[in-house]
Amino acid sequence: MSALPPHIPVLLDDVIHALAITPGAEIVDGTFGAGGYSQAFLAYGANVYAFDRDPQALAIGAELAGRNEGKFRLFPACFSSMDSVLAEQGVSEVDAVVLDIGISSMQIDDPARGFSFQKDGPLDMRMSQDGESAADFVNDAGEAEIADVIYSYGEERRSRRIAKAIVTARPIETTRELAQVIRSAVGYRPGAPKDPATRSFQAIRIHVNRELDELRAGLAAAERILKPGGQLVVVTFHSLEDRIVKQFFRKRSGSEGGGSRHLPQRAASHHPPTFEKPRKPVRPAQNEIERNPRARSATLRAATRSQAPAWPRQENAA
């Protein structure tokens, strides 16, 4: 019996369609998580190189590797290092890279991981389970830094009020404590459509895991390792992630606008496009949302790698 936990991969049929997998294709699953995508790719006859920094995901992957020896390998590393890690294994190019950005259901649903305030747990939020935790950040950072993080990564206009309340309430050790501090700071009506703690929890999680920096670096790494005609498929779950992917594809396909009457004229890139014009974004159908409510905010973007050389590393900021 498989040890893999129940998991519903988001936009799976659309991901498979975008990849057009052929037997023997080499695919990077940059965000292994609970293994839903990787299992589907293997079922289509692909060879899969998966990446994850979460010890729980690595334990799940060990079981999958045992059942697919020679076809599946899981590396305990960030997906931003995919090109260098695979180069060490003698792999210089692949047919496709898939990135499912954000946190997985198994992380959200485990109170001990501290990603969600739906159940009380330690204020952790670390994907890799090492380094600075969310508790370290909210208890040690200055008020201005906390406000900046909540504003920038949570798009929360009341960030200064929240940061002040956090500093006043320290020490804060659990998800319930932090959620209550945020609710008290901005006002909370039980039954409101969105809990006011949601944006701040997202922001702190993104900061602790350096998620947006990892995404930017991962897109550039995918560009370096994809062969001509290869597919880059990215699934995002909130506007900050989607904006980075959208801008990356526009820039790398040469379809970035030249500015407007309100903005300075952008200098044209002197590098040939490394991707063809990206396809239209795909969002989940209503039946998928009903089956898996966590899919409701997902957006899939995909593009095909051209024959142009990858851009220099110093120009990889999206």
Give residue-wise pLDDT tens across range 20-55: 999 999 999 999 988 999 999 999 999 999 999 998
Residues 238, 177, 115, CA angle at the centre, nearest 5°?
35
2 part of a folded domain:
no
97-121: pLDDT as tens digits: 999 997 777 788 888 898 899 889 9
Q: Is the pLDDT higher at 201 or at 193?
A: 201
Mean pLDDT of 191-197: 85
Q: Are residues 217 and 277 in the same domain?
A: yes
Residue 168: closest CA among 178, 153, 156, 158? 178
- pLDDT at residue 148, as a whole number: 98
**Contact in structure between 278 and 303 (CB atoms under 8 Å):** yes
Q: Which of 143, 176, 209 is the last residue of a domain?
A: 209
Which pLDDT value is given to residue 8? 76
Nearest alpha carbon to residue 48 among 31, 25, 67, 76: 25
Determine, yes or no, domain membership for 3: no
Last residue of a domain, one of 186, 209, 232: 209
Domain that holds residue 291: 12-106+211-315
Do 120 and 139 sit in the same domain of this protein?
A: yes
Residue 189 Rama label (left phi>0; alpha psi -120 to 50; beta): beta
Same domain, 174 and 234: no
Q: CA-to-CA distance for 208 and 105, rounded, in angstroms?
A: 18
**pLDDT of residue 93 exceeding 70:** yes
pLDDT at 190 > cutoff 80: no
- Give me 57's structure tokens: 């995901």
What pLDDT does residue 266 have?
Answer: 53
Q: Looking at residues 303-315, what average pLDDT do you find?
A: 91
Q: What is the pLDDT of residue 186?
A: 94
The verdict on 129 and 186 lying in the same domain is yes
Buried b (16+ CB within 10 A) or exposed e, 283-299: ebeeebeeebebbebbb
* Among the listed residues 15, 73, 9, the one whose alpha carbon sits nearest the alpha carbon of residue 44: 15
Checking if the pLDDT of 78 tops 80, the result is yes
Residue 285 placed within a domain? yes
Three-state secondary-structure class, residue 96: strand
Least confident of 143-152, 209-218, 258-267: 258-267
Q: Examine residue 33 and state whether it is found in any structural domain, yes or no.
A: yes
* Predicted pLDDT of residue 102: 76
The total number of structural domains in the chain stands at: 2
pTM for the full predicted model: 0.91
Per-residue pLDDT at 178: 98
Among 182, 209, 236, the domain-final residue is: 209
